């Protein structure tokens, strides 16, 4: 069993490296689409304690050599998240300082923040938005998103599954299709590859079993390919939503994921960083027994502002 103390030391080491890091991956939010506290939940302690707030899941890839900053997901919390990014990795350019945006799918917590790039808010100037084919068609063909395209606030860049997008020398991003509710678009995760290290960013999917049967991808093989694997942790178990049939809300449960991944060696388990916590998931609270158990079993829990160096 990995001690909590060792894991915390590792986290602090990762954060201290960021000052001398040329390329880093920064966590800007760890919550499910609606974050926390959620609408209609007056008893959530985050109403009284702002440190317990959850922004929806998002991250940034920052290249300190060029000054380029790439955003993964545009959430409804994008205003706060870009302010956080400006604090941690200030932009060298005017405007929002975004060299591009990558979207996993069309659900509101992952793409809804695009509205803040529009005429009524930032009035952004042709920010590149990298999308899969169905996602791109959805944005071009449906209001209010099509206005962003027509007014030139965003510039859609079509990408394809398993085809790397080269951002700079030695840095590329590859879309990996996953099973999920695809009412409006396909759903993907992203693998960020650098000359030094790599990241799997996978905030949303139905199940690892379906990923393997429908797409021929074993999650363990994906973990083996990267240095850090950010994986869907929407729910801890099936007891979180009393009165609802949770089989109708498919996501890998944290408890089941750990049971599956416990077969991996410590070196592989330590790569796994859980993300995308529903407001009901007790692991969102750092001092909860469930959160402590995750750490004790050799895994990590993403936290807002955490930094991962990809090119020291």
Write the DSSP string, 184-231.
Answer: SS--EEEEEE-SS-EEEEE---S-HHHHHHHH---HHHHHHH-SEEEE
- Helix 289-296 and helix 4-17: axis angle, to 10°? 80
pLDDT digits (tens, 9 = 90+) for 161-172: 999 999 999 999
> Are 80 and 43 contacting, i.e. CB atoms less than 8 angstroms apart?
no
Distances, alpha carbon 243 to alpha carbons 122, 138, 212, 246, in Å: 42, 34, 30, 9
Whole-number pLDDT of residue 247:
77
Q: Which two tokens stand for residue 312?
A: 């020291």
> Are 162 and 125 contacting, i.e. CB atoms less than 8 angstroms apart?
no
**Whether the predicted pLDDT of 185 surpasses 70:** yes
The mean pLDDT value for 236-264 works out to 88
**Whether the predicted pLDDT of 3 surpasses 70:** no
Name the band, by pLDDT with cuts 50, 70 and 90, for residue 241: confident
**Whether the predicted pLDDT of 77 surpasses 50:** yes
Whole-number pLDDT of residue 1:
40
Q: How far apart are CA 130 and CA 186, in angstroms?
A: 13
Residue reference for tokens 């895994």: 299
Whole-number pLDDT of residue 8:
42
> Are 203 and 109 contacting, i.e. CB atoms less than 8 angstroms apart?
no
pLDDT digits (tens, 9 = 90+) for 93-135: 888 999 999 999 999 999 999 999 999 999 999 999 999 999 9
Is the CATH number of domain 4-39+53-311 3.60.15.10? Answer: yes
Q: How far apart are CA 76 and CA 82, in angstroms?
A: 11
Name the band, by pLDDT with cuts 50, 70 and 90, for residue 19: low
Average pLDDT, the chain: 92
Name the band, by pLDDT with cuts 50, 70 and 90, for residue 6: very low
The mean pLDDT value for 7-33 works out to 71
If 0-12 CB within 10 Å is exposed, 13-18 middle and 19+ buried, where does residue 221 land? exposed
Whole-number pLDDT of residue 239:
84
Termini Cα distance of the chain: 29
**Whether the predicted pLDDT of 246 surpasses 80:** no
Q: How far apart are CA 71 and CA 82, in angstroms?
A: 9
The mean pLDDT value for 285-303 works out to 97
pTM assigned to the model:
0.92
| Domain residue spans of the chain | 4-39+53-311
Distances, alpha carbon 226 to alpha carbons 111, 115, 287, in Å: 25, 33, 29
Q: How far apart are CA 130 and CA 206, in angstroms?
A: 23
Q: Which two tokens stand for residue 133?
A: 């084919």
């Amino acid at each position: 069993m990995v001690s909590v103390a060792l894991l915390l030391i590792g986290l602090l080491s990762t954060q201290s490296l960021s000052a001398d890091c040329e390329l880093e991956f920064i966590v800007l939010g760890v919550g499910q689409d609606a974050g926390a506290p959620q609408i209609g939940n007056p008893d959530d302690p985050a109403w009284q304690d702002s440190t317990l707030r959850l922004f929806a899941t998002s991250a940034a890839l920052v290249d300190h050599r060029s000054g380029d900053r790439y955003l993964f997901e545009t959430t409804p919390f994008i205003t706060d998240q870009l302010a956080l990014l400006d604090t941690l990795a200030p932009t060298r350019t005017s405007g929002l300082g975004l060299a591009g945006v990558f979207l996993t799918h069309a659900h509101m917590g992952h793409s809804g923040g695009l509205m803040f790039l529009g005429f009524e808010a930032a009035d952004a100037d042709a920010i590149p938005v990298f999308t899969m084919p169905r996602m791109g068609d959805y944005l071009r063909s449906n209001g209010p998103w099509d206005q962003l395209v027509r007014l030139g606030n965003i510039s859609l860049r079509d990408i394809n599954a398993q085809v790397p997008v080269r951002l700079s020398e030695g840095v590329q991003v590859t879309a990996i299709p996953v099973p999920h509710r695809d009412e409006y678009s396909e759903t993907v995760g992203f693998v960020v590859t650098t000359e030094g290290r790599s990241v799997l960013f996978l905030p949303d999917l139905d199940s690892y079993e379906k990923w393997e049967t429908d797409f021929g991808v074993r999650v363990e093989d994906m973990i083996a390919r990267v240095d850090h694997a950010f994986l869907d942790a929407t729910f801890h178990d099936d007891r979180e939503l009393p009165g609802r049939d949770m089989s109708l809300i498919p996501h890998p449960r944290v408890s089941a994921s750990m049971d599956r991944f416990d077969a991996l060696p410590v070196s592989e388990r330590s790569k796994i960083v859980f993300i995308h916590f529903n407001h009901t998931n007790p692991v969102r609270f750092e001092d909860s027994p469930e959160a402590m158990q995750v750490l004790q079993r050799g895994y990590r829990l993403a936290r807002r502002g955490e930094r991962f160096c990809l090119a020291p």
